[in-house]
């Protein structure tokens, strides 16, 4: 995948510098001013026709928010992914750019650790399902059910969307605290594969929905890149498909109908208690389950708007119905930690082999030293506890 030995050629270094400059959104004139040279000098460096001096490399790398070591290291992965955004209204460009850089940095870090350890990520990608002419929701319904069947999920709720995407499908998934306006990012790269970044600051139901939404993009338009906003009017077919896919994947029609019939048996009206119980059963927001009931003609269109106009359905009402279990769904979000489980294993192994120091790992993963120590907690005792009986075959 990536060569691990030998000096990079001037052309390779120039190409990496060009990518880093474009990611930093600087022009060639800006780069030239940084090293006090003519624009033609930058052109020559980026084309590999003129070798960059070490002092120039250090200045350019600093301006590009990277390091000379990263530019020159053979095993380092260089990406310039354009994410597909699911944003809340009025997202700011700075929040978008920050999340973009974070996703690229985390993917680079994981692949660099993979290369250093000789590890490969397995991909269990299902066939891509192009969006066809006709009813988008009907196709999303069918595709979502087929993916559930393919994964062997059965009719139950999706409790941990990250594990499904990361472990079962092999998508690179990261959960970090982002600007509140950014819900999630999706991007695809030929080397890295499919990559998703989710906002850990959001409630677990929203995080789960965003993960399923990005999963819809992965299923339907896997290699396309674009920026999409929630308030885009009209929404593209791809965005409408992803919205429908998320609803159908998290709330399968047959399972919703069965639960609805059981919970409302012998009742004359749809009440807040019914909504709370159904939302908890499928681990989704109360609005999501009502919108799904409307979509399946189990509730009249406008039902959610009626509840909203009449006091809504509050967290306190949910606690009265569910007790303390109403907050239990937050546990798995907090359990994601600073890095996903597979990446945490790579980090611990790289540290145990003295390939990276704590400081290097902190810079690589965009974490503080304290956070890296939490990831490494207990790693130094693992080797001493092991014996030949549990040694992995190599």
Read off the pLDDT of residues 118-146 as tens digits, 9 standing for 90 and up.
Answer: 788 889 999 999 999 999 999 999 999 99
What is the structure's pLDDT at 71? 81
- The DSSP code for 242 is H
Return the minimum-mean-pLDDT range out of 250-254, 266-270, 326-330.
326-330
Q: What is the pLDDT of residues 64-110, one digit of tens each?
A: 888 777 787 655 555 666 665 555 555 457 888 888 889 988 998 89
222 lies in some domain: yes
Q: Is residue 85 part of a domain?
A: no
Q: Is 86 exposed, middle or buried (0-12, 13-18, 19+ CB in 10 A)?
A: buried
List beta partners, residue 189.
193
pLDDT for residue 45 is more than 90 = yes
Higher pLDDT pick, 341 / 202: 202
Domain interval for residue 321: 253-334
Mean pLDDT, rounded, of the chain: 84
**Cross-sheet strand order for the sheet of 193-199:** 172-176, 193-199, 182-189, 84-87, 227-229
Helices then strands, each counted (H, E), the chain:
20, 5
What is the total count of domains within the chain? 4
Domain CATH code at residue 19: 1.10.260.40
Residues 295 and 306 in one domain: yes
Check whether residue 323 and residue 348 sit in a common domain. no
Does 20 or 147 have the greater pLDDT score? 147
Task: Quote the pLDDT of residue 34.
Answer: 94
Q: What are phi and psi of 34, to 5 degrees?
A: -65, -35
Question: CA nearest 129: which of 5, 268, 242?
Answer: 242
Boundary of a domain, candidates 26, 57, 76: 76
Q: Indicate if 268 and 370 belong to the same structural domain.
A: no
Query: What pLDDT does residue 118 have?
Result: 79
Q: Please compute the mean of the pLDDT values over residues 164-176 and round it to a whole number.
A: 93
pLDDT at 334 > cutoff 60: no
For range 162-188, the mean pLDDT: 90
Q: Is the pLDDT confidence value at 378 over 50?
A: yes
Q: What is the pTM of this model?
A: 0.76
DSSP string, 84-144: EEEE-TT--HHHHHHHHHHHHHHHHHHHHHHHHHT------PPPP-PPPSS-HHHHHHHHH
Check pLDDT > 70 for residue 170.
yes
Report yes or no on 87 lying in a domain. no
Q: Is residue 41 located within the same domain as residue 62? A: yes
């Amino acid at each position: 995948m990536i060569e691990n030995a030998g000096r990079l050629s001037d052309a390779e270094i120039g190409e990496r510098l060009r990518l880093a400059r474009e990611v930093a959104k600087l022009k060639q004139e800006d780069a030239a001013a940084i090293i006090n040279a003519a624009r033609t000098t930058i052109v020559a460096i980026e084309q590999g026709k003129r070798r960059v001096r070490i002092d120039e490399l250090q200045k350019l790398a600093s301006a590009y928010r990277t390091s000379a070591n990263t530019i020159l290291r053979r095993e380092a992965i260089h990406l310039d992914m354009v994410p597909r955004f699911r944003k809340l209204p009025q997202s700011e460009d700075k929040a978008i750019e920050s999340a973009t850089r974070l996703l690229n940095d985390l993917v680079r870090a994981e692949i660099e650790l993979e290369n250093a350890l000789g590890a490969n990520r397995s991909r269990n990608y299902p066939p891509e399902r192009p969006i066809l002419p006709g009813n988008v929701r009907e196709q999303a319904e069918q595709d979502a059910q087929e993916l559930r069947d393919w994964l062997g999920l059965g009719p139950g709720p999706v409790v941990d969307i990250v594990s499904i995407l990361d472990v079962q499908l092999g998508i690179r998934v990261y959960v970090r605290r982002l600007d509140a306006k950014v819900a999630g990012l999706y991007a695809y790269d030929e080397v890295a594969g499919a990559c998703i970044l989710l906002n850990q600051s959001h409630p677990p139901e929203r995080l789960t929905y965003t993960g399923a939404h990005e999963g819809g993009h992965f299923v339907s338009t896997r290699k396309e890149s674009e920026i999409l906003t929630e308030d885009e009017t009209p929404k593209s077919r791809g965005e409408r498909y992803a919205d429908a896919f998320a609803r159908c994947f998290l709330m399968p029609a047959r399972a919703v109908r069965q639960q609805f019939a059981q919970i409302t048996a012998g009742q004359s009206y749809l009440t807040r208690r019914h909504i709370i119980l159904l939302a908890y059963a499928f681990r989704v927001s109360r609005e999501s389950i009502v919108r799904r009931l409307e979509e399946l003609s189990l509730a009249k269109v406008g039902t959610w708007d009626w509840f909203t106009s009449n006091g809504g359905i509050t967290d306190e009402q949910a606690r009265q119905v569910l007790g303390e279990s109403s907050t239990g769904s937050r546990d798995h979000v907090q359990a994601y930690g600073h890095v996903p489980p597979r990446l945490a294993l790579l980090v611990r192994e790289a540290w145990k082999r003295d390939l990276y120091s704590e400081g290097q790992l902190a810079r690589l993963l965009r974490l503080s030293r304290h956070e890296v120590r939490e990831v490494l907690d207990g790693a130094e005792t693992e080797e001493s506890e092991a014996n030949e009986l549990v040694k992995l075959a190599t």
